[in-house]
Amino acid sequence: MGHIPRKRFGQHFLQDESVIQHLVDVIAPRAEEHLVEIGPGQGALTFPILKLSRQLDVVELDRDLIPILNARAKEFGKLIVHEADALEFDFSQLVEKNLPLRIIGNLPYNISTPLIFHLLGFADSITDMHFMLQKEVVDRLAAAPGNSDYGRLSIMVQYHCQVTSLFDVPPDAFYPPPKVTSSIVRMLPHHTLPFTANNYFHFKNLVKQAFSQRRKTLRNCLKLLMTDEDWQKTDILPTLRPEQLSVKDYVGLSNILSNVE
């Protein structure tokens, strides 16, 4: 009996009741909301949430877990299980009428960054996201300019969302314990973008280039994209380092450069 945790699915099951309760408290699910959990596992978070929300969609890749989830769900509410890879899942199929999605999950760490980018594609239909991730990734997601964790991931995610790191979770809260500390992150998609890139592809490429050589000056990192003449059109100093510019600065720079005919 019992499910043996599988490494290839990044399975670390939450077992610390106080951590689970803290997570449920910060998510604060309510009955009329539409919650979606990614990677429910054996339901450590699923059932306490379902008890409050009465209905929950879950996306789980490991088919062996599905009967375990279905069997226990009945006493708590209506659980809709989607046996699928969350990286390929079309979350828009879950959006009904005017009820935006609240996404939650103790994510498999090996897919957390691509999964966040996949979800950002549905940002218009999402109210908020709460995830357990490696602390190191959460620190990068939430970092402010000037911080050593601030980089491409911070900028690309903060372009779409307001990001807050909520609390840390030690390895012994899980079975089996992961090697690293985890953190809970809250991400709120902007309903109106605070700064809009005229050419998103250009902006994305500019940020990628800027951080290609972190220790160098912007003039150096961006020399393929910006001439001295281009620098004169901005009020940003080319002697700064890439981590000193805000999302607003990068969007502004991209808009100046992509408007040049």
| Site of interaction with ligand SAH (CB under 6 A) | 9-14, 38-41, 44-45, 59-62, 65, 85-87, 106, 108, 111
Of residues 176 and 194, the one with the C-beta less far from ligand SAH: 176
Residue 205 Cβ vs ligand SAH, minimum distance, rounded to whole Å: 28
Main-chain dihedrals φ then ψ at residue 39, nearest 5 degrees: 65, 60
CA gap 89, 94 in Å, rounded: 10
One-letter amino acid for residue 205 of the chain = N
> C-alpha dihedral over 19, 51, 126, 128, to 10 degrees?
-30
Residue 163 Cβ vs ligand SAH, minimum distance, rounded to whole Å: 21
First-to-final CA distance of the chain: 67
Of residues 9 and 117, the one with the C-beta less far from ligand SAH: 9
Which two three-digit tokens encode residue 226? 């910006």
CB neighbour list of residue 98: distance below 8 Å, 6 or more residues apart: none
CA angle 242, 244, 250 (to 5 degrees): 65
Q: State the chain's maximal CA–CA distance in angstroms.
A: 70
Residue 172 Cβ vs ligand SAH, minimum distance, rounded to whole Å: 14
Residue 114 Cβ vs ligand SAH, minimum distance, rounded to whole Å: 9
Of residues 89 and 159, the one with the C-beta less far from ligand SAH: 89
Sign, CA torsion 48/52/55/57: negative
Residue nearest to ligand SAH (CB): 39
Of residues 120 and 236, the one with the C-beta less far from ligand SAH: 120
Of residues 10 and 100, the one with the C-beta less far from ligand SAH: 10
Residue 228 Cβ vs ligand SAH, minimum distance, rounded to whole Å: 47
